[in-house]
Amino acid sequence: MSGLIEVVDVHKSYGSVKILKGLNFSVLEGETFAIIGPNGAGKTTLFKVMTGETTLNSGEIRFRGRGISSDPPHMRTRGGFGRTFQVARVFLELTVLENVVVAIEARQKASHERKGRWYDWRPAEDVRTEAMQLLAELGLERSARREAKFLSHGDKKRLEFAITLGGRPSVLMLDEPTAGMSPTDRKGTAELIRRIKAERGVTVIMTEHDMDVIFGLSDRLMVMNYGEMIALGLPAQVRADKTVREVYLGKEASHA
C-alpha cells in the first residue's frame, strides 16, 4: 500500500549530531496524520525536511510516487503542499487582503490559470473575490484593508490559514497549530482544521503537543523519540503501546 507521501529511510544530521535516524513511514491520502514525541525527538527537523526547509542527508521523500527530496520549498508548494508555522508568519506590512492575494496570484502563475491582463496594477477581479471568500471563511473579512501587523496573535494564525488555503493545497502541513493557545482557542483551531478537512478533503500532517487535539483529530499517529519512530498506528493502539508509555510517563508509571 503506497501512500500519498512516503518517507523512506531518511537520515538527517546537523554537523556531527544525528537528528533523524532512518525514518520510514507513509501518509495516506485524505487522512489526518499526527507526529508527536518529547522535545528533542526531531519532530521539527522532520517537518523541515518534508517541507523542503532543509535538506536530508540520505533517504528519500516521495509525493504521489515522485521523489521530491531535491525540490526547494516553492516547488513543493506548487506541487500541492501548504505549510503553517508554529509562530504564525504573515507579511506584516501588507494588508490582510494583500496577504491572501499574493498566495492566490502565486498559485495562478504556477498553474497558468491567470485571467487578469498583464498590465493590471490592482489585483484581478476573480483574485480579489476568492481572497475575500477565504477571509470570510476565517472571520477576517472586516480586517481586509488593515495591515497585517495590527492583527492579534490569534487573527494572525487565521490569516496564515487563509494564505495557505489560497494555494489550494492537497497536503496541509501544520506545525504545532495550537501552540501557546488558551483552551478555548485550541478547540476553535481544532474545529477549523476539522472543517477545512471536511470541505476540501485535504490530507493533514501535523505536529502537536496537545493530546486532546491529537486524539480528537488524527486518524493515525506516529510517535518519535531521539530521531526514531517508536510507534505508528491508530490513536487507541498507540496510547496503549508499552514503549510509548515508557517514553512519556517514565518506566515506573508505565506499569500503572
Partner 1 sequence: MPGRDTRFWTLTGVAMLAALAVLPLVANDSVKFIVGLAIIEALFALSWNLLFNYTGIASFGHAAFFAVGAYLVGIGQRHGWPVPFPAQLLGAFLAGSVMALVIGGIALRRATGIHFAILTLAVAEVVRMLISYSAYVGRDEGLAGIPRPVIDFGVTTLSLKSVNAYYWLILVICLVLALALWWFVSSRHGRATRSIALDAERAAFVGIDVYRMRLLSFTISGGVAGICGGLSAPWVQIVTPDLSHWLHSAQPMLNTLLGGSAYFWGPAIGAFVYAFINYSTRTLAGLSELMIGGILIIIILSAPMGIAGALAAAQRRLSRNYGEGSP
Binding site for partner 1 (CB under 8 A): 51, 53, 72-74, 77-78, 83, 85, 89-94, 98, 101-103, 105-107, 109-110, 116, 119-123, 163, 166-167
Residue 198 φ/ψ, nearest 5 degrees: -65, -45
Minimum gap (Å) between residue 126 Cβ and partner 1: 13
Minimum gap (Å) between residue 170 Cβ and partner 1: 13
Q: How far apart are CA 206 and CA 117, in angstroms?
A: 38
Nearer to partner 1, 37 or 123 (CB): 123
Minimum gap (Å) between residue 121 Cβ and partner 1: 4
Nearer to partner 1, 10 or 165 (CB): 165
Residue holding cell 485571467? Answer: 115
Nearer to partner 1, 92 or 249 (CB): 92
Query: 56 near 49, Cβ under 8 Å?
Result: yes
Minimum gap (Å) between residue 221 Cβ and partner 1: 25
* Cell of residue 184, nine digits: 478555548
Minimum gap (Å) between residue 224 Cβ and partner 1: 23
Closest CA to 161 of 145, 175, 180, 150: 175
* Cell of residue 27, nine digits: 501518509
Nearer to partner 1, 206 or 244 (CB): 206
Minimum gap (Å) between residue 87 Cβ and partner 1: 11
Nearer to partner 1, 54 or 254 (CB): 54
Nearer to partner 1, 103 or 221 (CB): 103
Contacts of 224 by beta carbon, 8 Å cutoff, 6+ apart: 23, 35, 36, 37, 41, 42, 43, 46, 230
Residue 251 φ/ψ, nearest 5 degrees: -65, -40
Contacts of 241 by beta carbon, 8 Å cutoff, 6+ apart: 223, 230, 231, 233
Q: How far apart are CA 204 and CA 32, in angstroms?
A: 5
